[in-house]
């Protein structure tokens, strides 16, 4: 595999070959060679997210009722751009603040969790371009096979521009939140913990970093990411398989680059082109305000049925081709994990 050499280069300095000498049992239980142990970090992070979410919810309700004197809000439809933007912005703010707090506690740069500053704009723009291109390829294959038919243009003029901008903002926030939720702090920290376990069991393992990364990826990018779509109306078994493969595709970007920006851009424009531009269902969900109207034709396994293109078997070659594109166009530049004995180390990708 192409990552063997990288593991050989960075593996020796990633984690110690044995457990550190304890300075008392209390310190040994909570602190390892790379700082606060990963299990405690994950637990503290979850507690912070819960507290911040409760605080944000209470503050918003208090301001609306006491200061603005607004009536209780009606439950927003998931297909509305404003509701989508607000929900995912709140989610990202909660996870982002919790990560910033953890970065200070662990004495790590926040960029270590995937939101790097290096090549931010180039990666983001390239990901956006490929997101539209690959979704258009998938839609083109569906049309060519007779599995998707267009009914015409639904919007025009200012209304079309307004919805285009609104949904672009909404899906940009969806991409940012969902990528960071499943491939940000949680991915990094669980991987760090698994690497430590592997090195404790096999001190001279050359593949500890790879093992840790992909075990964490299976938990969050497959388990959590796909599991989060299980309750979408209109979702199918093939659609869940497609989401799981999409999670592997996105985390492969992180594996190669140490950055989430390409995947964020791809995720955002893929959803935007799917829901607004072509007017197809997105994981079983339809949005209010789309440029084109379309409908699936024939067997759901090919057309995607109520799930949309993501429920079509044609999604599989589309995402496999995307992984080839990632491999060919994104040079490997991922930063190593923190060396043993030092909690703070500059990331090479910052």
> Average pLDDT of 236-261?
93
Task: Say yes or no to pLDDT of 60 above 80.
Answer: no
Give the three-class secondary structure for 257: helix
Give the three-class secondary structure for 206: coil
Residue 284: which of 336, 243, 316 has the closest Cα?
243
**What's the chain's average pLDDT?**
84
Task: Say yes or no to pLDDT of 125 above 90.
Answer: yes
Task: Say yes or no to pLDDT of 80 above 80.
Answer: yes
Q: How far apart are CA 33 and CA 246, in angstroms?
A: 34
CA angle, residues 306, 307, 309, in degrees to nearest 5: 115
> Average pLDDT of 298-309?
91
Task: Say yes or no to pLDDT of 219 above 80.
Answer: yes
Q: How far apart are CA 113 and CA 185, in angstroms?
A: 5
| Token code pair at residue 44 | 């503290």
| Token code pair at residue 37 | 């142990």
Confidence of residue 47 (pLDDT cuts 50, 70, 90): very high
Residue 303: which of 133, 100, 142 has the closest Cα?
142
Q: What is the pLDDT of residue 79?
A: 64
164-191 pLDDT tens trace: 999 999 999 999 999 999 999 999 999 9
339-350 pLDDT tens trace: 443 443 333 332
Confidence of residue 32 (pLDDT cuts 50, 70, 90): confident
Task: Say yes or no to pLDDT of 235 above 90.
Answer: no
φ, ψ dihedrals at 35, nearest 5°: 100, -155
Task: Say yes or no to pLDDT of 284 above 80.
Answer: no
DSSP string, 16-60: -SSPPPPSSHHHHHHEETTEE-HHHHHHHHHHHHHHHHHHHHHHH
Task: Say yes or no to pLDDT of 16 above 60.
Answer: no
Percentage of the residues of the chain whose pLDDT score is greater than 70: 84
- Residue predicted with more confidence, 74 or 91: 91
CA dihedral 157, 293, 151, 281 (to 10 degrees): 170
Residue 127: which of 269, 245, 272 has the closest Cα?
269
Q: What is the pLDDT of residue 206?
A: 86
| Token code pair at residue 287 | 């949005």
| Token code pair at residue 335 | 């930063």
Percentage of the residues of the chain whose pLDDT score is greater than 90: 59
Q: Count of H helices and E strands in the chain? A: 13, 4
> Average pLDDT of 315-343?
78
Confidence of residue 334 (pLDDT cuts 50, 70, 90): low
Q: How far apart are CA 182 and CA 177, in angstroms?
A: 9
């Amino acid at each position: 595999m192409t990552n063997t050499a990288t593991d050989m280069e960075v593996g020796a300095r990633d984690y110690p070959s044995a457990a550190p000498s304890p300075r008392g049992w209390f310190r040994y239980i909570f602190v390892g060679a790379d700082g606060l142990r990963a299990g405690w970090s994950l637990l503290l992070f979850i507690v912070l997210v819960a507290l911040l979410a409760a605080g944000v919810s209470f503050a918003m309700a208090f301001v609306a009722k006491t200061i603005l004197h607004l009536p209780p809000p009606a439950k927003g439809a998931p297909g509305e751009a404003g509701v989508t933007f607000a929900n995912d912005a709140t989610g990202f703010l909660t996870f982002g603040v919790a990560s910033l707090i953890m970065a200070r506690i662990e004495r790590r740069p926040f960029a270590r969790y995937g939101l790097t500053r290096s090549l931010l704009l180039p990666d983001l723009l390239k990901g956006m371009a490929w997101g539209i291109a690959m979704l258009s390829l998938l839609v083109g294959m569906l049309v060519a096979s007779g599995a998707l038919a267009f009914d015409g243009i639904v919007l025009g003029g200012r209304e079309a521009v307004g919805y285009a901008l609104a949904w672009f903002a909404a899906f940009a926030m969806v991409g940012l939140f969902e990528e960071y939720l499943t491939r940000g702090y949680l991915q990094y920290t669980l991987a760090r913990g698994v690497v430590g376990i592997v090195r404790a069991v096999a001190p001279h393992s050359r593949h500890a970093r790879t093992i840790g990364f992909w075990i964490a990826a299976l938990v969050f990018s497959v388990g959590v990411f796909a599991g989060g779509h299980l309750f979408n109306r209109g979702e199918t078994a093939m659609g869940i398989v497609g989401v799981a493969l999409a999670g592997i595709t996105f985390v492969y970007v992180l594996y190669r680059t140490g950055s989430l920006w390409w995947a964020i851009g791809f995720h955002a424009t893929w959803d935007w082109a799917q829901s607004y531009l072509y007017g197809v269902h997105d994981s079983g969900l339809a949005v209010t305000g789309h440029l084109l109207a379309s409908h699936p034709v024939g067997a759901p396994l090919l057309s995607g049925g109520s799930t949309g293109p993501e429920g079509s078997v044609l999604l599989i070659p589309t995402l496999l081709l995307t992984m080839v594109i990632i491999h060919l166009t994104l040079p490997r530049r991922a930063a190593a994990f923190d060396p043993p004995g030092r909690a703070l180390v500059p990331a090479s990708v910052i």
